Structure 1
Amino acid sequence: MMSDTHIPLPERLRPRDLSEIIGQDHLLGENAPLRQMIDQGHLPSIIFWGPPGVGKTTVALLLAQAVDRPFISLSALNTGVKELREVIAESGDLLTPVVFIDEIHRFNKSQQDALLNAVEKGKITLIGATTENPSFEVNSALLSRCQVYTLNSLDADAIQTLLNKAIQTDKFLKARFIQIEEYDALIQFAAGDARKALNLIDLIASTFEPDIENIVTNAIVVKVAQQNIARYDKSGEQHYDLVSAFIKSIRGSDADATLYWMARMLKGGEDPVFIARRMLIAASEDIGNSNPNALLLAGECFRSVQAVGMPEARIILGQCAVYLATSPKSNSTYLAINKALELAEKTANLPVPLHLRNAPTKLMKQQGYGVDYLYPHHYPEHFVLQDYLPPELRGTKLYERALNKREVEAERLQQRRWQQEQQQQ
């Protein structure tokens, strides 16, 4: 028989009642939406969206228990259409079971479609959990039949509450007489993840002697965490660090590092579609108009990975990753759109100049709409100088080209505009 100390601390402290859930009061607190529905004995199909370690699986189980329903747990990683249909067929003998599907974003369209009819006819109550935006990863027909609720990362107060509960109630931790003197490093390493926080304090406690007072400081946390990070982070919570290293390697034009971090993510079970999506963003944010073909290739990579799947998708991902890493870099349009959005927010009251307005009716033309507009195609080189911004913003420069061949060449008309404006002054 396994002793309690061999059971991971997050499992030993897994909440047994909804009231024990920490950090999700917006859903489960008094008068919160999920709490009200459960109090009325009602449980709809739900998609839980949130980062790892915030309690999606636990909340799903406790919701099923609260309405006295059978609970069937599946993982999208190892459940196919055949298994789904078997579960749905067997559910006819049960009181509308709650079918929980972890990482539902990894289901392809046919797998999600297999759920649709059962959810629509009430054969099952679906609770899906995803770390990815369900608007992109769950098909619209299934999504429209589910309520979407966001579970938040735990804030500093919630992490502190969780850790104090652990050292006060867990048998193994209590025997170490732990006093947490400093919380900063624990909170930083936990990064909003309850599982990380508990695994880390359990790891630290294992270095302490029993039956004497043991003080937890930031220095101790950093030392233990850095020496043992693979142990308490082995279940995939390095996700955000790995993808950060991957994107920064692309941005830094290091093809070898790009491939290495991508391989680490794939070996760790990362969704290849997620990797492809991140490259799609990088192609625009970090390469942009220095090489517009990067966005086209990344878009095709994204579609191809969805169609092909692993293991062959690794080849497509690798090709795209190397192309992005070795492309010239520019964030000029990324900076420009951010400036434009900031300016638009501050100047949303400025009217569109009359000469730029559409004039579909005679009355609008009489009011001056479209008058004095100069049609560029009627002029040499299809260019004519005129104002396109409101008068109050004349001369505003949002786009600053980067020093790369394509953006320099593309700035020819911008330079001509600038020169003519200088001549008029």
Structure 2
Amino acid sequence: MGGLPFREGERKSGASWYVPLRQSPDAWLRSQRGAWRISGLVSSMPIPTPIAVANESAGDTQANNLFSLFLHHHLPMFSPALPPLAERMRPQSLDEFVGQHHLLAEGRPLRSAIGKEQPHSMIFWGPPGTGKTTLARVIAAHSSCHFLKLSALLSGVKEIRAAVTQARQLREVQGKGSILFIDEVHRFNKSQQDAFLPHVEDGTLIFIGATTENPSFELNNALLSRTRVYVLKALESADLELVVQRALADVERGLGARHLSIDDQARRLLAESADGDARRVLNLLELAADLTVEAAVDSADGAHAIELGRIDVTRVRQVIEGSLRRFDKAGEAFYDQISALHKSVRGSAPDAALYWLARMIDGGSDPLYIARRLVRMASEDIGNADPRALTLALNAWDAQRRLGSPEGELALAQAVVYLASAAKSNAVYKAWNAALAEVRSQGSLQVPVHLRNAPTRL
């Protein structure tokens, strides 16, 4: 532990953690920085939180900072694990909620419904980390409704029926309404979605579903007709920076007890790297904070504790290295982005086409899938206007297969730029589809006599 006074900790059964010391905290801090007085910490006794550290002469700020960082780095080894920062900082009220101004600004229908304590059944559609679950909880709290939560990944009709029974009992016994929140509701099949309908209609419960997929494609019309769909947007960078600042300042739920600070540039970089996701920005912040604390307590020079307790750009870059943009190869974002690439090529916009290629590669899309789509584009959109396009697309596919990533991706980029810049003709594509339609509509017509193979006079 780099000269720090802790020995291995040992957990006493059933209660607090105890930390035996090689020397008293007084003696250790005195040897490090001078004469210190520790209030509330006794060797081999349960460690209270927070611990007050006071200097008998000068340097109180540095002492408190160093010892606070030290404790918050090493106490997790002797304390029960806390929930992740993103869960601890989940907003508890509308005043704490960040973003979604188009839904929650004064006078907007959803804000009015919440203010009047008249919630209705609804679907929240938006990318991860935009507040779908949190908003459902806030609505339940404002309306004094009991909050029931199920995950479509882990639940079936049996769990739905149990939740409905509980909601009915609460209404009959306590006169209290219930909000049933279903996360990832698009993963329920038709029969599971239909199971909600009678209970939504008779007022047994208020239904709130959350989905990252387009409800028009993934949810039953019967369920959609009984709910209102609200679209949640990815958070702006300014909103995410506010989330970071609140987490660093919050002593009870956030990182405030660590006395950390963050550079303006580092905060902006965190927000940009989170890609509109509040959960992601808090996860990245927590990692950056842990690395910063570790560096501070491992330093032998306590005089620089304040500087060491600052999260800088270098630390943020460490935690975001390898972080991917939002991309779901099985979901709607995947099809949206490949569509954007195809339409950029078709529209002769090479810069846009390169951008969407980079987005897909950065997000983790299979380069060989993209290569196959480029071959399709070469035939469908360029065709005989520039027959070389097909050859170049095939060569790019072969280069990616032989070289792999990242080297082969340059060949894909070359092909994308060529296809976007080439002359366009979809004549072959249209003619082929017309021929197929003709064949399917006419049945098995005989080959005309003058076109048949006639090896004999018969």
User: What TM-score range do you get, normalising by the shorter chain?
Assistant: 0.5 to 0.7
Equivalent position SS for 2:87: helix
Whole-Å Cα distance in 2 between the matches of residues 409 and 78 of structure 1? 49
What residue is the counterpart of 1:125 in the other structure? 206
Give the gaps of 5 or more residues in structure 2.
1-15, 17-75, 171-175, 297-304, 347-366, 383-421, 436-458
The one-letter amino acid of 1:19's match is: D
What residue is the counterpart of 2:179 in the other structure? 98
Please state how far the C-alpha of 1:281 moved relative to its aligned partner. 6.8
Equivalent positions of 1:337-356 (< 5 A) are none
Equivalent positions of 1:351-366 (< 5 A) are none
Whole-Å Cα distance in 1 between the matches of residues 181 and 434 of structure 2? 58
What residue is the counterpart of 1:329 in the other structure? 375
Whole-Å Cα distance in 2 between the matches of residues 46 and 332 of structure 1? 44
Q: Contact 1:24–1:152 at 8 Å: present in 2 too?
A: yes
Change in CA separation of 1:162 and 1:136 when aligned onto 2, cut-off 3 Å: same
Q: Contact 1:181–1:216 at 8 Å: present in 2 too?
A: no
Whole-Å Cα distance in 1 between the matches of residues 379 and 108 of structure 2? 42
1:325-369 deviation line (CA, Å, top 9, x unaligned): 768723269869xxxxxxxxxxxxxxxxxxxxxxxxxxxxxxxxx
Equivalent position SS for 1:22: coil
Whole-Å Cα distance in 1 between the matches of residues 433 and 228 of structure 2? 48
What residue is the counterpart of 2:326 in the other structure? 240
Whole-Å Cα distance in 2 between the matches of residues 408 and 90 of structure 1? 58
Please state how far the C-alpha of 1:180 moved relative to its aligned partner. 2.2
Change in CA separation of 1:407 and 1:157 when aligned onto 2, cut-off 3 Å: same
What residue is the counterpart of 1:180 in the other structure? 263
Whether 2:399 is the aligned partner of 1:400: answer: no
1:66 to 119, 142, 163: 142
1:358-410 deviation line (CA, Å, top 9, x unaligned): xxxxxxxxxxxxxxxxxxxxxxxxxxxxxxxxxxxxxxx995249xxx65985
Whole-Å Cα distance in 2 between the matches of residues 276 and 16 of structure 1? 30
Please state how far the C-alpha of 1:179 moved relative to its aligned partner. 2.5
Give the TM-score normalised by structure 2: 0.53
Whole-Å Cα distance in 1 between the matches of residues 157 and 89 of structure 2? 34
Instruction: Work out the number of aligned pairs and report it.
Output: 279
What residue is the counterpart of 1:22 in the other structure? 98
Change in CA separation of 1:142 and 1:412 when aligned onto 2, cut-off 3 Å: closer
Equivalent position SS for 1:19: coil
Change in CA separation of 1:146 and 1:398 when aligned onto 2, cut-off 3 Å: farther
Equivalent position SS for 1:78: coil
What residue is the counterpart of 2:225 in the other structure? 144
The one-letter amino acid of 1:139's match is: N
2:237 to 156, 180, 203: 156
Whole-Å Cα distance in 2 between the matches of residues 119 and 280 of structure 1? 36
Please state how far the C-alpha of 1:113 moved relative to its aligned partner. 0.5
Task: Say which one has the larger Rg.
Answer: 2
Runs ≥4 residues deviating over 4 A: 1-5, 279-282, 321-328, 332-336, 406-413
What residue is the counterpart of 1:205 in the other structure? 289
Please state how far the C-alpha of 1:76 moved relative to its aligned partner. 0.2
Change in CA separation of 1:242 and 1:152 when aligned onto 2, cut-off 3 Å: closer
2:273 to 189, 194, 203: 189
Whole-Å Cα distance in 1 between the matches of residues 260 and 235 of structure 2? 25
Equivalent positions of 1:362-401 (< 5 A) are 399-401=424-426
Q: Contact 1:285–1:333 at 8 Å: present in 2 too?
A: no
1:146-191 deviation line (CA, Å, top 9, x unaligned): 0111111110110111111111114534424313230332122100
RMSD (CA atoms): 3.9
1:273-331 deviation line (CA, Å, top 9, x unaligned): x389849977x959x99xxxxxxxxxxxxxxxxxxxxxxxxxxxxxxx99997687232
Whole-Å Cα distance in 1 between the matches of residues 326 and 192 of structure 2? 27
Whole-Å Cα distance in 1 between the matches of residues 219 and 197 of structure 2? 11
